[in-house]
Amino acid sequence: MKRLLLAALILSLTLFPLASRADDSSGTPPTSTYTGRENIEWSDIWLPHTTENGLPRVLLIGDSITRGYYPVVDKLLDKKAFVCRLTTSQFISDPLLLGQITLFLDNMKFDVIQFNNGMHGWPHTEDEYRAGFPAFLAAVRDHARGAKLIWATTTPVNDHPGHVGSLTERVKARNAIALEFVGPAGIDVDDLFTTMLPHPEYHDAGGIHFTQDGIEVQGEQVAAEIEKVLTAAK
């Protein structure tokens, strides 16, 4: 199953952007009209225990921050849940992202899904972020098949070590926009932004990612929020 799903995801990366012009009868090969990608885009998918049952299945959707704390969450939820991840650089309105999410959720059933998007796509305005959020949320919610959803806020950014950076204001704006949608939808919020904001010392030298101490704090918080949901569902 794992190999088949990964193959399908790779195929979706090639074919999904073509859908918007699949009915083009001009004879010109269809191409994506989306032009907002970074110079290098990436996706990292990890599906452990695909042939096993007996424990709830959890999915973390996010970026490299999520990928960073994933091992901590996986360790803390050992023997309590099977923890998977779908982490990517793609911006909230990229059809590649929406295609991956829907294909992924249509092929695997999860009990809890924590999701986030907000750290990439800086050339996009916050108005574009707001415009893209409903389709992003729908891709998760409409294909979740009963999974309990948790929104994770985007973490602060440092200009240099020990200093909260100017991009943090944009992160705050994006987090506020996200709450406009997830709040009325009744989706739980894991506020990693508020947890990390008073601790610029947790950032590494690059200002975006975190030291192991910061990663441990995030992972512990994420695992605790997921475990609360799992406990409530019993």
Distance CA 89, CA 120 (A): 6
For the chain, which residues make up each domain, given as ranges?
A: 2-233
**Contact (CB, 8 A) for 1 and 50:** yes
Please state which CATH number belongs to domain 2-233: 3.40.50.1110
DSSP 229: H
The pLDDT value recorded for residue 140 is 98
Confidence of residue 206 (pLDDT cuts 50, 70, 90): confident
* The model's pTM: 0.86
Tens digits of residue pLDDT in 23-39 = 333 343 334 578 899 99
Q: State the DSSP H helix or E strand holding residue 85, giving kind and residue range, or none if neither.
A: strand 82-88
